[in-house]
Chain A
Amino acid sequence: AQSVTQLGSHVSVSEGALVLLRCNYSSSVPPYLFWYVQYPNQGLQLLLKYTTGATLVKGINGFEAEFKKSETSFHLTKPSAHMSDAAEYFCAVSSYSGGYQKVTFGTGTKLQVIP
């Protein structure tokens, strides 16, 4: 069984401050890890993903995440928050089990950016 834990359902940062959204996962097989972003009244879109290789992954809009196997973490960061970053962020783990793709999502973190 696999699971994802996102610490903090709401995070507030000041514009220009560091953004750090935490994600820990558990998986019995090597996972693929994702961060998705959801803007109000929209579907989810991919922010970045880790598959294999380099553990520091860069995504869109200046976000990046680092896969740390020893800590089973995949935290999302951005050096300087922008007002347009206000959204809900979901961490997800994907693996194949029994011939089927299994994707498990965290419960999401709403990011508020304060001017």
Chain B
Amino acid sequence: DVKVTQSSRYLVKRTGEKVFLECVQDMDHENMFWYRQDPGLGLRLIYFSYDVKMKEKGDIPEGYSVSREKKERFSLILESASTNQTSMYLCASSLEGLGHGNTGELFFGEGSRLTVL
């Protein structure tokens, strides 16, 4: 069964702390994504990566960075956490390119709920 694993389900951090959210997928997918989910706003794309060591900004990259050193792992980094980054963070992966059965379907992890005090 395909799987996207987020290392921490619940985190509580203090303002100014550095936060790492880890995501690992076992499907050999090229694309990986980090979304932020807030009530009434749906899912908003923070960053995505289409290959190892490659990254692209999404719609709301400010205050975040990412790292993809290996194909299966995509990390989201909050250099200095702030209270407005309290949210649910969702990692997802997908196959690259159209055709060959790839439709852009995303496979999601269980989410990491971050509270910044």
Interface residues in chain A, defined as those with a beta carbon under 8 Å from any beta carbon in chain B: 9, 32, 34, 36, 41-46, 49, 51, 90, 92, 94-96, 100-101, 103, 105-108
Cross-interface CB contact of B104 among A90, A94, A107, A108, cutoff 8 Å: A94
Stretch of B13-21, B36-44, B60-68, B71-79 that contacts chain A: B36-44
Cross-interface CB contact of A43 among B45, B104, B109, cutoff 8 Å: B109
B90 interfacial by beta-carbon distance below 8 Å? yes
Bound CA–CA A96/B110 (angstroms): 26
Instruction: Assess whether B104 is in contact with A103, with CB atoms less than 8 Å apart.
Output: yes
Task: Choose among B45, B103, B113 the residue with the greatest number of A CB atoms under 10 Å from its CB.
Answer: B103
Name the CB-closest residue of B to A93.
B104
Bound CA–CA A44/B14 (angstroms): 28
Q: Given A96-B98, A100-B50, A100-B56, do A44 and B42 touch, yes or no (CB 8 Å)?
A: no
Instruction: Assess whether A51 is in contact with B111, with CB atoms less than 8 Å apart.
Output: no
Q: Given A9-B40, A100-B56, A105-B42, do A94 and B108 touch, yes or no (CB 8 Å)?
A: no
Q: Given A41-B111, A43-B110, do A105 and B43 touch, yes or no (CB 8 Å)?
A: yes
Q: Given A32-B103, A46-B105, A49-B105, do A106 and B42 touch, yes or no (CB 8 Å)?
A: yes
Bound CA–CA A108/B113 (angstroms): 18
Bound CA–CA A103/B109 (angstroms): 16
Interface residues in B57-112 (C-beta closer than 8 Å to A): 90, 92, 94, 96, 98, 103-106, 108-111
Q: Which residues of B contact A106 (CB under 8 A)?
A: 42
Name the CB-closest residue of B to A52.
B103
Bound CA–CA A96/B94 (angstroms): 13
Task: Choose among B42, B94, B98 the residue with the greatest number of A CB atoms under 10 Å from its CB.
Answer: B42
Instruction: Assess whether B111 is in contact with A107, with CB atoms less than 8 Å apart.
Output: no
Interface residues in B1-51 (C-beta closer than 8 Å to A): 4, 31, 33, 35, 40-43, 45, 48, 50
